[in-house]
Amino acid sequence: MKNNWAHASKQYLLHPYTLALIVLFIKIIAFRTVIFHNRSVLQIVLLEYPIWALMMTLIIVLFKKRTWLAVWIFNAVLSALFIVILYYTRYFSTLPSYYDVKQIYQSHSVGGTVALLGTPYDYLFFLDVILILPLIKYFTKDRQSLYFKGARKGLLAFTCIGVITTSLAFRQPLIDVSYFAKENGYLQTQIVQLYERSFGIALATKEKLIDADLEKLKGNDYVPFNEHNTFGVAKNRNVFVIQVESLQNFVIKRDINGQEITPNLNKLLEDSAYFNNVYQQIGAGNTSDAEWIMHTGLYPEGMDPTVNLLKDMEIASLPRMLSAEGYGTATFHADDITYWSRDQLYPALGFGHIYTAEDIPDQEPIGFGPADEVTFRYAETQIQSLLQQYNRVYANIVTLTSHTPFKMPEEYEYLDLPENFKDTYVGNYLQSIRYTDRQIGQFVANLKKLGLYENSVILVYGDHSGLHGKPVTKEDEVLLEGLLGHPYNLKDRFIVPVLFAAPGIFDNEKIEHLGGQTDLMPTLMNLLGIEPTSQLIGHNLFQYEHNLLGMRYYLPGGSYISDHTMYIAPSAQQPASLLTRETMKKAKFTNRSQKNINNTLSILQYSDQLRREKSVSKRKPH
C-alpha cells in the first residue's frame, strides 16, 4: 500500500502538468516581487497565482491534442504581458489596466522612450518559454502529455479559489489600481474595473453639490461668478490657447550656460498674469486628458483615457459655450486624428473646425510629426480665414515637437549646453523646450503683425511633465539638482506653467496660490465675461486663494494637493505619506489631513457624476 501511495505521489509530483504549475508559480513570484516589491507567499498562493493557474489549466483541458504548444503560447504571451506591465509602471509610475494595455498599438508616440525603459534582466520572464518548458517536455517519460485526470481537479480547485478572491475584491472600493491590485490580485482588479466601467458605478455619487459646496470643500467662501473682480475684463477678445507638450514650470525664467531656456515665454510674461503653482491633473490619456480638462473644467476618468468613453457624445464644453457667443472655434494638432481617439474627442467637445495630420502639411518631421513651426504657420493662415467668417476666434493649438524622447535635429538645437548636459535625457528635453519656445514667440510676433495681439487673450500652459519615470537616470537627477539648486522632486515634476497674456490688462503679474488644470476653463471664461452653462469642478484662479486638488493617476488614487501639503495615498510599492508642499519634507498626519482626504474623494466623485451627466447626449448620425 505504501509503495503504491509513494508511486502515485511521485507520479503526480513529477507529472509535466505539476512541473508546469511549479514553473508558473515561480514566474508569478517574480512578477509580484518586481512590480509590487511584495514577497508574501500567502498573497501569492491565495490571490495572484490561482487565477493564472486556472487559465493555464483550462487551456490544458481544452487543448488535449496540442497541449504543449498551447501552454507554450500561453507562457510566451504571459511573459510579454508582464514586460509590458513592467515598462508601463517604470514610465508612468502606476500599474496599467486592461484599458492601457489595449492602447499598446498607439505606442509609436513613445517608441524612442521604450528603449530607455528595459534592462537585460527583464527578459528572464521568457526563460521558461525558451528553456524550462522545452526541457520538461524533452525529459518527460515517453513525451508524456500535460493533460491527465488530475488537471480537472486542479481546474475545480483554482476556480473555487478564484471565485472567492474575486468576490472579496468586489466588496472593496477601487480608488487606486496599483494598490488594489497589490491587495487583491492583478486579474481580479481587471475584472472589477471591467464591471465598474461597464455598469458605470466606479466613483460617481448621486449627491448634488452646488458651487458653494465645492468652494467650501476647497476652503473658500463662495462668490457668484459674475461678481468676481475679473469678470468680463477681456470681453469680446479673440482667444488663443497653446497647450505645450511636456512643458514644466521650472524652465520658466531659468538660465543655463548664460542662456534663457524660454526667452519668448519670459518676454510674454510682461503682458501676462503668470500662475506658477498650477498642478497637472491628467489621467491615463495624458495629452488628450489635458485637452479634456481644459475644455470641460472636469477631472479626467483617471484609470482609462477619457476619450475612450466619448463615442458619439456631445459634451457641454468651452467650444460650445464660446460658439453660442459668436466665436468661430478651431483646434490644431499635427497628429493622426485617430490617435488617442481624437476623432471622438474633438466632435464631442463641439469644435467647429478640426485640423490634424490630414490637413497640416507633413513637413520638417521631428519625432512622430511635423515640427511645431509647421503647425503654427498653418494655424495662422486658418485663423485669418476664420476671421472672415466670424467676429471672434477661439483657436486651440496643441504642440507636438517637445515630446519624449526629446531628440532634436542638430540644426534645431538652439541652446549651447554645458558638455555634461549634451546627449542626456535632460539636455535633450531642454533643447526641445527651447525649440518650441521659439515657435511660440514667432506666433505671438505674427499675431502682432496681423493686428490681432492687442485684442486677444493668449493662454499658454503645459499638458504634463516630461521628465519622469525610468528614462530619468541618476546622471539626469544630478544634472537637475545642479540646475534647480535642490534635488528634483514631485513638485518640480507636477507643476506646469500657466500664462494668461492679455495686453493692456495684465502687467507682469505673478500669482503664487495653488491651482490645477481644472481651473483653466473657468478662469478663462471669467475673463471673457461668459457664465458657464453647465457646472464646472474648477474655479476662477484670480478670485480664490485656497484650493484642494485631486490626482488619480500619476499619484495613487485618493492623493491630494492642498495649500500646504501633498498627500500620497498608499500604492503598490509605498505606504501613505504626507509632505509639506513648500519643502517636500515629511509632515505629520492631522485631523485636517483626513478631512482633506474625504473632501478630495467627494470632489472626484462629483466630477465623475458631472462627466456622466454631460455625456448623456448622443450625436445624431449624419
Residue 341, pLDDT score? 86
Query: What is the band of 198 on the pLDDT scale with cuts at 50, 70, 90?
Result: low
Residue 163, C-alpha cell as written in the block? 471565485
CA gap 85, 154 in Å, rounded: 27
Residue type, 505: I
- Greatest mean pLDDT range, 156-160, 167-171, 192-196, 382-386: 382-386
Neighbours of 216 (CB within 10 A): 14
Report whether pLDDT(112) > 80: no
Query: What is the band of 192 on the pLDDT scale with cuts at 50, 70, 90?
Result: confident
Residue type, 500: F
CA gap 412, 415 in Å, rounded: 9
Residue 387, pLDDT score? 96
| H helical segments located in 140-262 | 149-170, 177-184, 186-199, 211-218
- Predicted model pTM: 0.83
Residue 148, pLDDT score? 67
Sequence-distant (6+) residues with CB within 8 A of 609 are 204, 205, 206, 207
For the domain covering 229-545, report its CATH number.
Answer: 3.40.720.10
Sequence-distant (6+) residues with CB within 8 A of 581 are 491, 561, 562, 563, 564, 565, 566
Report whether pLDDT(6) > 90: no
CA gap 483, 300 in Å, rounded: 32
What average pLDDT does the segment 257-271 reach?
98
Whole-number average pLDDT of the chain: 89
Report whether pLDDT(98) > 90: no
Residue 105, C-alpha cell as written in the block? 498599438
Higher pLDDT, residue 34 or 193: 34
Sequence-distant (6+) residues with CB within 8 A of 200 are 612
Say what percent of the chain tops pLDDT 70. Answer: 90
Poorest-pLDDT segment among 169-183, 415-429, 472-486, 575-589? 169-183
CA gap 613, 204 in Å, rounded: 10
Residue 90, pLDDT score? 81
CA gap 490, 513 in Å, rounded: 17
CA gap 34, 118 in Å, rounded: 13
Sequence-distant (6+) residues with CB within 8 A of 101 are 81, 84, 85, 88
Residue 584, C-alpha cell as written in the block? 517636500
Report whether pLDDT(78) > 50: yes
Neighbours of 527 (CB within 10 A): 26
Poorest-pLDDT segment among 11-25, 50-64, 251-265? 11-25
Per-residue pLDDT reduced to its tens digit, 175-185: 777 888 888 89
The answer to whether 266 and 252 are in contact (CB under 8 A) is: yes
Sign of the torsion formed by the C-alpha atoms of 522, 287, 300 and 586: negative
Query: What is the band of 5 on the pLDDT scale with cuts at 50, 70, 90?
Result: very low
> So where are the chain's domains?
2-199, 229-545
Residue 390, C-alpha cell as written in the block? 466670424
The answer to whether 535 and 518 are in contact (CB under 8 A) is: no
- DSSP assignment, residue 300? -
CA gap 348, 298 in Å, rounded: 14
The answer to whether 481 and 421 are in contact (CB under 8 A) is: no
Residue type, 560: Y
For the chain, the helix, strand and coil percentages under 3-state DSSP, each to the nearest 5 = 50, 15, 35
Neighbours of 409 (CB within 10 A): 12
The answer to whether 526 and 299 are in contact (CB under 8 A) is: no
CA gap 175, 182 in Å, rounded: 13
What average pLDDT does the segment 15-35 reach?
90
Residue 100, pLDDT score? 64
